[in-house]
Amino acid sequence: MSQLAGLTNEQIVFIYLRLKKYADYVNELMLEGYATRKITIGFGDVQTETKITDDDLQVIMEIPVVKMYMDIEKSLAPIVDIIKDSDPELFEKMNSMISEAESGEFFVETEGLDDDDDSEEDEG
């Protein structure tokens, strides 16, 4: 597996996909704000809606952490496109991993662990 600046392709794709999700969320908020003059922010089951101006939207885009997320996602996009084109299975693997984690459907492989416990009991 090749590395760029100490990161594997898997790690690059993983970071990109996590940041892309955040960038997409911010972009959706911005579009909603420009179109409706209000934004809806959700925290789990709780959602709040607030009126917003163009100046407010610009301030959001200038928040350092928002800017950093957006800049890194934009910088990684062409690299991830190359990885995706050359190794689509890796891209799908990372995408699935993130989807499973977000849905709470991730699990630890336990195959073979029970066999060791049984064999020790049989011996003793």
Per-domain boundaries in the chain: 3-123
Confidence of residue 42 (pLDDT cuts 50, 70, 90): confident
Residue 6: per-residue pLDDT: 87
Task: Give the global pTM.
Answer: 0.71
Residue 14: what residue type? Answer: F
pLDDT band at residue 77 using 50, 70 and 90 as cut-offs: very high
Query: Is residue 118 predicted with pLDDT exceeding 80?
Result: no
Average pLDDT of the segment spanning 58-64: 93
Over range 82-101, report the average pLDDT. Answer: 94
